[in-house]
């Protein structure tokens, strides 16, 4: 079962994807994580995308489609969770073609609906564990012990360079201009299932669980 988590920055895609990985053995494919890894590795591609990401703009379709293609060919599991991909109609078409080549298809597109006002608080309070990738929030999901990851005990907690109000404004504009048309696209295909992303994390988990069965 291959699914897309679709929603604006801060909607909770990463949080829910990690839960599906843990509970269902699915494979999370986050282009944001792949691009941040490329940046951290200091590769030529990483250097090229670094400033674009910090500004909150989308990197080129060619780069992210290439990253997804590599991982689709390399990974196996109980289905893929596309997190933060596709973000343009060209990426959506490319994904359909890549899956068809593997004899696979998309099962469901989960649209995570969240108000714009809530996103500022989500993004500015977000921090993650540099070791295991667990996602936290200053107010809604703090660590049990300050400065220590609940999941793995690491003290390497970090904030993203693009998680500030300025970059978020650009990211939201990019979302509305280039990504939100995908809602209509997948609705017309009959694949779209909305969930209330404003509910508490556990409630969102339950809504998605009910949709996926
Ligand atoms: P968020 O979790 O806030 O939705 P991501 O981690 O998915 O953000 O993405 C961070 C940044 O990486 C984006 O602002 C963009 O610059 C780049 N990026 C990630 N995925 C894509 C994609 N599919 N297409 C283009 N750019 C992407
Ligand atoms: P995305 O991957 O869509 O950008 P994240 O999963 O990283 O979103 O979540 C953004 C921030 O909001 C994180 O700090 C996370 O802990 C928090 N968060 C996620 N889901 C919820 C929720 N349902 N209610 C409150 N806070 C949430
Ligand atoms: Zn951790």
Give ion ligand 3 contacts, CB < 5 A: 129, 131-132, 134, 149, 151-152, 154
User: What is the DSSP pairing of strand 27-30 with strand 80-83?
Assistant: parallel
Q: State in Å, rounded, how far the first CA of the chain is from the last one.
A: 11
pLDDT at residue 155 greater than cutoff 90: yes
What is the tens place of the pLDDT at every residue in 14-25? 999 999 999 999
Contact by Cβ (8 Å): 115, 198 = yes
CA of 207 to the centre of ligand 1 (A): 24
Mind listing the pLDDT tens digit for each residue in 94-130? 999 999 999 999 999 999 999 999 999 999 999 999 9
Provide the 10 A C-beta neighbour count for residue 94. Answer: 20
Residues 37-41, mean pLDDT to the nearest whole number? 95
Task: Kindly list the distances between the CA atom of residue 62 and the CA atoms of 6, 117, 174, 206, in Å, as whole numbers in the listed order.
Answer: 20, 32, 17, 35
Kindly report the protein residue whose alpha carbon is nearest to atom 3 of ligand 1. Answer: 9
CA distances from 213 to 13, 66, 208 (A): 18, 31, 8
Residue 29: half-sphere exposure toward Cβ, Cα within 13 Å: 25
193 part of the active site? no
**Catalytic annotation on 13?**
yes
**pLDDT reported for residue 77:** 79
pLDDT category at 131 given cuts 50, 70, 90 is: very high
For ligand 2, say whether the CB of 32 is within 6 Å of any of its atoms: no
Integer Cα distance of 122 and 115 in angstroms:
11
Q: Which residues line ligand 1 (CB under 6 A)?
A: 9-10, 14, 31-32, 35, 52-53, 56-59, 64, 84-85, 87, 91, 162, 171
Number of alpha carbons in the 13 Å side-chain half-sphere of residue 65: 15
How far are the Cα atoms of 9, 58, 88, 139, 213 from residue 84, in angstroms, in the given order? Answer: 8, 11, 10, 24, 23
């Amino acid at each position: 079962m291959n699914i897309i988590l679709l929603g604006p920055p801060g909607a909770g895609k990463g949080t829910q994807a990690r839960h599906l990985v843990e509970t269902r053995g699915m494979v999370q494919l986050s282009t944001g994580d792949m691009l941040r890894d490329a940046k951290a590795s200091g590769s030529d591609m990483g250097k090229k995308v670094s400033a674009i990401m910090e500004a909150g703009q989308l990197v080129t379709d060619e780069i992210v489609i290439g990253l997804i293609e590599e991982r689709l060919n390399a990974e196996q599991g109980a289905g893929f969770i596309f997190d933060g991909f596709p973000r343009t109609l060209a990426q959506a078409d490319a994904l359909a073609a890549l899956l068809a080549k593997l004899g696979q298809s998309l099962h469901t597109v989960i649209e995570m609906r969240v108000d714009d006002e809530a996103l500022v608080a989500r993004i500015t309070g977000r921090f993650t564990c540099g070791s295991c990738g667990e996602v936290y929030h200053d107010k809604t999901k703090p660590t049990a012990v300050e400065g220590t990851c609940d999941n793995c005990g690491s003290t390497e907690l970090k904030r993203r360079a693009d998680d500030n109000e300025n970059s978020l404004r650009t990211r939201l504009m990019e979302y509305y201009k280039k990504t939100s048309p995908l809602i209509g696209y997948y609705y017309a295909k009959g694949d779209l299932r909305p969930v209330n992303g404003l509910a508490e994390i556990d409630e969102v988990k339950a809504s998605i669980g009910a949709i996926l069965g």
